[in-house]
A and B are shown apart, each in its own frame.
Chain A
Amino acid sequence: MAGSPVVERLDEDTFPKILLRNAKVFADRPAMREKDLGIWQAWSWSEVLEEIRTFAIGLQDIGFTEGDRIAIVGTNRPRLYWTMVAAQSLGGVPVPLYSDSVAEEMAFVLEHAEVRFACVEDQEQVDKLLSMSEGLPRLEHVIYDDPRGLRDYDHTRLHSFEEMQAVGRKALDADPARERAWLERIAKGKGDDISVMLYTSGTTGRPKGVMLSFDNLVISGRNGNAFDKLDEHEETLAYLPMAWIGDHVFSLAQAYTAGYCVNCPESLETVLSDRREIAPTYFFAPPRVFEGLLTHIMVRMEDASKLKKKMFDVFMGVAKRVGERILNGEDVGLKDRLAYWLGEILVYGPLKNQMGFTRLKVGYTAGEAIGPEIFRFYRSLGLNLKQLYGQTEASVYITMQPDGEIFGDTVGKPATQVELRIAENGEVLYRSPGVFVGYYKNDEATKSTKTEDGWVLTGDAGFIADNGHLKIIDRAKDVGKLTSGALFAPKYIENKLKFFPDVKEVVAFGDGRDFCGVFVNIDLTAVGSWAERNNVNYASYQELAQHPLVYDMIERHVDQVNRDLAGEPMMAGAQIKRFLVLHKELDADDGELTRTQKVRRSFIAERYAPLIEALYDGSTEKHVKTEVTYEDGRKGALEATVEIRDMTLHPASGRNIQEAAE
């Protein structure tokens, strides 16, 4: 971005060096907090240094040395963050893993990364590692944070974090040379050393180990801080997986470079109340978190007293009209400003307090498209919620939305020091200081992702809109064409339809076909409550899904989507011509969704082949029989006659944007 200064490379180019600086500069400022036994425990930067130093020495005593890798498995715990920097201070590389991944996948990563050490959260993870230790001859020592249940385990290769620190403390007291040696080792660290290895989950094939250098992370962190003017006064909540680049940058890279405080919630279930207590100033969440919060509020408002409901409605109307304009610093009349001010006192303030956003300076969402209504709701309350587009390979930041230039359907302008380019086939490419060093032990993949001159292929198709903002359409490999030659981006269409609360899941078909057809899955909660209000009786999901009034409602939504698509020249050709409402809910147990609730397109195409056929052969209904798996593993069958409806398409209109993806 033009406005913000490019941060020069500073003396402190590794996290251990930055830690030493922070312990001096921000000595008594809080660096980390954890809620334990119901009370927030805080560590200042100088205390964090002490924790990391003693642990690092203890680690050294069990043989950890330069070039070693240490696996980190668990939810966000201060000690696990400290382990990362402790390992770095000894010239080692931390490898955070997804704690909920299945043993097999974890074993692959542990083996591939050649880890000799592991630091884990609790008994569950210790058990997991021990169960696969036979296949991992390289794994020598396991260190755990929470000792509960581990008392009777064989402790020859198992150590508690506290015990390691005790050993370290003793060694430091006995021999001052140890500390000097430790500091010397830190001074030896260079910016281009590998800082961390993050394994990307990878939708296809084995996970790949993305190697990021200190330069990648430190520069990206500093740029991110400068972009949003973050400093040591920020508070964040660390609740997303530690193995994910986002958390690594927000809770470590940016926290260290800015010197702000990272708060670890008590458990994953308490995030909501912990957030209310902490009131973070800088916050990241995937769209579903914001969606969930909004639904929660709306449901609660339905039950509120008449006066409160009325107040909510009136002031949300005001917010909708002027809230975003005020946030963007535009001209707004005095009367509206007054009304908004009153609303802040009566409605927005208490609402933000409930959500834990009272002090929010900037919030980000990324990963998936966020519904424009949801996005606007938060912004109209005066919350500076923005979108960004990023990747592990980029140390997160590729594009970000600058203050005052927020558009719901684009993901922003190139972040500081990032160059952006659109390839011939519509794929987005970037080059930046954050670009990863390479995939560990996988040169082939490195070469196919990163060009000689440092450009990285994102795998996403998109284009740069008139206003200079990047717009992502879909995964590059999913983008197809209709027989008419019109561009067909399934996810783009699916997301548009999914933004309606009544629609839970959508699967769009059209690549290599004459027109676009979709399967719709209704949302039982939303449609169910609609049915209740409209006296629609139903006995099962299937019956509700097949109800003519439900079909009418979905038809209106599809029509609205078509109207939107017609307004976008690139997409106008792929309007939805026919649709059907599926008689069963797509379910991960039946293999239709991944465990992370993503649609498995090819599997669905196979399973529902007769329905797809019916979409395209012009029939108006189709009888199908589908096998289902119950939660206890038994199988049954569902039979239904599914109606298929035709839509009238809208003529294309709107501005002419050069067809970047052609």
Chain B
Amino acid sequence: MSAFVDPARMAGHSGMEKGEVLLRVDNVSLAFGGVKAITNISFDIVKGEVRAIIGPNGAGKTSMLNVINGFYHPQEGTITWRGKVRRKMKPYEAASNGIARTFQNVALFKGMTTLDNIMTGRGLKMKSNFIWQCLHWGPALKEEIEHRRKVEEIIDFLEIQAIRKTPVGRLPYGLQKRVELARALAMEPELLLLDEPMAGMNLEEKEDMSRFILDVNQQFGTTIALIEHDMGVVMDLSDRVVVLDYGRKIADGPPDEVQASQDVIDAYLGVPHEH
């Protein structure tokens, strides 16, 4: 509940104000051998916004996300995170730096319960050493109780109390996606990357997910970058949209503007969207 709104830890851990540039991508190019996945792309993500990355299949959206969270390192260009140019790093370093993500295909531990899956999101925040954790006593136990509380708050927030003890593999797809979001939230990220959070969902599940994404954004001030194919969702949720096509940026701006852009219509939407 209210204890969950912890601005000191959630939103402001870099001490950045809303509206400042949180992450900037400058002239980034990424190639796999001869295949150019991303060519000379620049854009920024501002603290507190919902930023959408869209584009047709193979446009380089997921590659872009992988670049942002440090899984791929671009051959050219720079990434500025919280005002500092970032060097090559490992994904877990990105994670401890305040970037969390969900995946296009659900990537959870199917045999583990919802609760345990979300607890894994707290792993990086565990401070007690290996021995204590093995004993599950003393400081490790105390720490675990604290983390459990945080996790319970997230469970409450995403309204998944009923599946707390259910193995994730037994859950319907829509709920698995929500558990994945919960795990990402458990890391209390500053920037949350969502790779097609609504893929394969029905209308009701999409509405629920949209509401949760907005709630996360408003309640915790978490900056969100999302890839999504459902245009209705993108237009409703996001503050700014960047459009990629064949690894190039073809538009960048507020949803209405992007929607009206002829390049985008030609490349992706085909026909003007009715609004």
Contacts and interface: CB of A to CB of B under 8 A. Distances in A.
A267 B164 CA distance: 12
Interface residues of B, number: 19
Contact of B159 (A36, A38, A39, A267): A267
A558 to B, nearest CB: 37
Contacts of B215: 148-149
Interface stretch (B23-31, B150-158, B186-194, B224-232): B150-158
B35 interface: no
A148 B5 CA distance: 9
B161 A269 contact: yes
Contacts of A38: 148, 152, 155, 161, 164
A37 interface: yes
Given A146-B1, A147-B1, A151-B5, A37 B162 contact: no
Interface string B190-216: 000000000000010000000000010
Contacts of A37: 1, 149, 152-153, 155-156
A632 B165 CA distance: 33
A324 interface: no
Interface in A23-72: 36-39
Nearest to A148: B1
B42 interface: no
A39 B148 CA distance: 11
A451 interface: no
A39 B156 CA distance: 12
Given A37-B149, A37-B153, A267-B159, A148 B219 contact: yes
Contacts of A266: 161-162
Interface string A132-166: 00000000000000111101100000000000000
A636 to B, nearest CB: 18
A273 B165 contact: yes
Contacts, number: 40
Contacts of A151: 5, 219
Nearest to A152: B218
A36 B162 CA distance: 12
A602 interface: no
Contacts of A148: 1-2, 157, 215, 219
A188 B219 CA distance: 45
A38 B157 CA distance: 12
A203 interface: no
A448 interface: no
Contacts of B165: 273
A269 B219 contact: no
Nearest to B155: A38
A520 B223 CA distance: 55
Contacts of B219: 148-149, 151
Nearest to B215: A149
Contact of B161 (A146, A147, A267, A632): A267
A151 B161 CA distance: 23
A270 interface: yes
Interface string A255-267: 0000000000011
A151 B162 CA distance: 26
B186 to A, nearest CB: 14
Contact of B162 (A147, A149, A267): A267
Nearest to B115: A38
A36 B157 CA distance: 12
A269 B148 CA distance: 21
Given A37-B149, A146-B1, A149-B218, A269 B155 contact: no
Interface in B154-183: 155-157, 159, 161-162, 164-165
A152 B148 CA distance: 28
Nearest to A269: B162
Nearest to B162: A269
A585 B1 CA distance: 42
A147 B162 CA distance: 21
Interface in B94-127: none
B86 to A, nearest CB: 33
A264 to B, nearest CB: 13
Interface in B19-44: none
A37 B146 CA distance: 12
A36 B1 CA distance: 9
A38 B5 CA distance: 18
Nearest to A162: B2
A296 to B, nearest CB: 15
Contacts of A146: 1
A149 B158 CA distance: 13
A273 B115 CA distance: 15
Interface centre among B152, B156, B159, B219 (most CB of A within 10 A): B156
12 contacts: A36-B1, A37-B1, A38-B152, A39-B152, A148-B1, A148-B215, A149-B218, A149-B219, A266-B162, A267-B161, A269-B161, A273-B162
Given A38-B148, A152-B218, A267-B159, 5 more contacts: A39-B152, A146-B1, A148-B2, A148-B215, A151-B5
Interface of A: 36-39, 146-149, 151-152, 266-267, 269-270, 273, 632
Top 5 nearest A-B pairs (CB, nearest first) are A269-B162, A37-B152, A270-B162, A266-B161, A38-B152
